[in-house]
Amino acid sequence: MYKHSFRVCFCFRRRFRTNVAEAPEDVKRVFDQYSENGTMNIDQLQMFLEEVQGEESEMKAHAIFDNLKHLNIFQRRGLRLEDFFRYLLGELNLAFSPSQGVYQDMRAPLSHYYIFTGHNSYLTGNQLSSASSVTPIIRALKRGVRAIELDLWPSSKKNGINVLHGGTLTAPVKLIKCLRAIKDHAFTASEYPVVITFEDHLTHDLRKEVAKMVTTTFGDILYVPKSEDLNEFPSPESLKGRILISTKPPEHTKVESTKEKPSADKRRDTADDDIWESTMSREDTDEDYLEEDDKDEEIVIPEYRSLIAIHAKKMKRGSNLQTFFNDIEKVSRLSLSEQELENATGNCGRDIIRFTQRNLLRVYPKGSRLDSSNYNPMLAWTHGAQMVAFNMQGYGKYLWIMEGMFRGNGGCGYIKKPDFLLNNSEQENSTSRSTSLIMIKRLKLKVYMGEGWDLEFGPSHFDFYSPPDLYVKIRIVGVREDTVVKRTIPIEDQWVPVWNEEFSFSISAPELALLQVVVLDHDTSGKDDFAGQTCLPVRELRSGIRAVPLYNRKGEIYKHVKLLMRFEFE
């Protein structure tokens, strides 16, 4: 115990007895079981790793001893309780470790994978007035994002190409800068392919310039398909280190039009209808205007069209979505807003799943999200949508879920979709049935304690006159049957809270199940204060007593804040 005081007024202080981090009773019992005379030798540590932690590597015990020796808490005879406790809270004993690398089969077509996807990847802030820059593109690529969206517009003099959110006050950035940034940072976090989706608002002359820029910038790493007539996408494995372009190809033939073309200013003002009209897709609106422009001129542009690896398709206005999903011969990409997807799943959910078995579905935030907020990605994932596009420049619980999903599979940016979304059998097309090789029916966990807030924050960060009252909110994110929220009781006035609370969760689809952990400071007079979060794939959690590092709101890991938890699977 140590004393912690808070100044209440000029002449009065409140003093609190604050405990220091010490091993929970379960840890003490385990240590007693696998030690002798107060020390644990290397053979006993190896036995603990095998029987409690589920780790069979004989080298692990030696690595732990070597690491503790380096930290100067190694004793010749073995580990003492304090040494053992510090190991359990250390970097060698994390509940989730991406060090296992990519373990899923990466040889299936792209349509068989969820792809870490950004929306308006160039924006630094809100959707209306923020600047466009290469900085958010670079940041997204470093976080493992594998699909970058760029909106292409003519410059003010119509002789150059800018990237910006059209019809808004967002400041532009030059396309060439974006392309160079992508080339320089595309494979920093992952060697698997990067898809660049163009929202094309250009004349055919400027498209020729785009083709030249793309070819010159990317050179041999640009994937150029041999044919447009693809019945199946290539695999992520075959596309390692490659850049792919995805956009709607220009039309092949010349068609005379009697319609009056809207002026350039009018097109610019009305192109982004997803901002102003929530019922209409921005992609569809833009392409309608482009079609009217292009019908009066020859627009073959082979040098541009040939670079498109993933062809984007659009539905004609008034056409039936269900018919569209079942009338695709060549593989392609379709974009829907989150609202359009929600409406479609009510009538043709199974058709969407069948469509995404061969084709790519991109879902993007509805236009009313001017603050660059995000939506729950689970509806899209459970219907097979591969490219669930998110605003990466913000933060919030849905972005934490997105980051949690793509921490899986070595953080490579590609996650294999569950078998029940790839099987054509009607019996298996259920979003609640698991065909995973890893059969997890139940997750049991125990939250022991937490530490590090006093090292990470100032004494009055949470409360002006007392230490925080911390509690843990635990949520399983997944299919409807699995989704549940539980919480510990708040521990009053403690920087090192000890909860010792157990929880149990039924898991029906472990491939889509995520464990979201949020620590909050209970506040009786207002909103509870944020104190850390993490989100982890359930099927990649490591069993046993484990350390769980926490992240801040922006997804940056804290240096000191972590929980000690125990995980068991049935």
Task: Based on the fold, state whether residues 498 and 563 are members of the same structural domain.
Answer: yes
Task: Based on the fold, state whether residues 454 and 523 are members of the same structural domain.
Answer: yes
Q: How far apart are CA 194 and CA 438, in angstroms?
A: 29
In a domain, 366, yes or no: yes
In a domain, 482, yes or no: yes
Please write the tens of the pLDDT for every residue from 47-89.
Answer: 999 999 998 777 888 888 877 765 555 455 689 999 999 999 9
Report the C-alpha dihedral over residues 200, 201, 206, 207, rounded to 10 degrees.
Answer: 30
Task: Based on the fold, state whether residues 406 and 505 are members of the same structural domain.
Answer: no
Q: How far apart are CA 520 and CA 527, in angstroms?
A: 10
Domain CATH for 339: 3.20.20.190
Task: Based on the fold, state whether residues 456 and 545 are members of the same structural domain.
Answer: yes
Chain centroid, CA 340 distance in Å: 22
> Of the given ranges (15-24, 27-36, 43-52, 489-498), which has the lowest mean pLDDT?
15-24
Question: Average pLDDT over the chain, rounded to whole?
Answer: 86
Task: Based on the fold, state whether residues 511 and 456 are members of the same structural domain.
Answer: yes
Query: Is residue 560 annotated as a catalytic residue, yes or no?
Result: no
Q: In the prediction, which pLDDT does 338 show?
A: 97
- 233 DSSP assignment: P
In a domain, 226, yes or no: yes
Q: In the prediction, which pLDDT does 256 show?
A: 47
Q: How far apart are CA 421 and CA 340, in angstroms?
A: 20
Please identify which of the residues 112, 119, 201, 311 carries the catalytic annotation: 119
Q: How far apart are CA 258 and CA 220, in angstroms?
A: 43
pLDDT exceeds 50 at position 312: yes
The answer to whether 541 and 95 have CB atoms below 8 angstroms apart is: yes
Q: In the prediction, which pLDDT does 429 show?
A: 40
In a domain, 23, yes or no: no
Domain CATH for 552: 2.60.40.150
Task: Based on the fold, state whether residues 487 and 559 are members of the same structural domain.
Answer: yes
Number of domains comprising the chain: 2
Q: In the prediction, which pLDDT does 461 show?
A: 86
Domain boundary among 365, 383, 417: 417
Please identify which of the residues 112, 165, 201, 311 carries the catalytic annotation: 165
How much is the average pLDDT of 234-240?
Answer: 98
Task: Based on the fold, state whether residues 145 and 227 are members of the same structural domain.
Answer: yes
Q: In the prediction, which pLDDT does 9 show?
A: 61
Query: Is residue 311 annotated as a catalytic residue, yes or no?
Result: no
CA-to-CA separations, 332 to 97, 249, 281, 543, in angstroms, rounded:
35, 11, 18, 41
CA-to-CA separations, 103 to 41, 64, 100, 415, 506, in angstroms, rounded:
33, 24, 7, 10, 25
Domain boundary among 352, 384, 417: 417
In a domain, 18, yes or no: no
Task: Based on the fold, state whether residues 219 and 335 are members of the same structural domain.
Answer: yes
Backbone region of residue 508 per phi and psi (left: phi > 0; alpha: psi in -120 to 50; beta: other values): alpha
In a domain, 213, yes or no: yes
Task: Based on the fold, state whether residues 242 and 332 are members of the same structural domain.
Answer: yes
Task: Based on the fold, state whether residues 412 and 447 are members of the same structural domain.
Answer: no
Q: What is the pTM of this model?
A: 0.88
> Of the given ranges (113-117, 158-162, 411-415), which has the lowest mean pLDDT?
158-162
How much is the average pLDDT of 231-249?
Answer: 96
Q: How far apart are CA 98 and CA 540, in angstroms?
A: 9
Which has more confidence, 228 or 566? 566
Task: Based on the fold, state whether residues 466 and 565 are members of the same structural domain.
Answer: yes
pLDDT exceeds 90 at position 330: no
pLDDT exceeds 70 at position 1: no
Task: Based on the fold, state whether residues 407 and 447 are members of the same structural domain.
Answer: no
Q: In the prediction, which pLDDT does 237 show?
A: 98
> Of the given ranges (114-123, 170-179, 425-434), which has the lowest mean pLDDT?
425-434
Q: Whats the size of the chain, residue-wise?
A: 570
How much is the average pLDDT of 166-171?
Answer: 94
In a domain, 68, yes or no: no
In a domain, 492, yes or no: yes
Q: In the prediction, which pLDDT does 526 show?
A: 84
473: confidence class by pLDDT, cuts 50, 70, 90: very high
Q: Which domain holds residue 507?
A: 439-569
pLDDT exceeds 70 at position 435: no
Q: Under 8 Å CB-to-CB from 229, ≥6 apart: which residues?
A: 330
Share of residues in the chain with pLDDT > 70 (%): 83
Which has more confidence, 157 or 174? 174
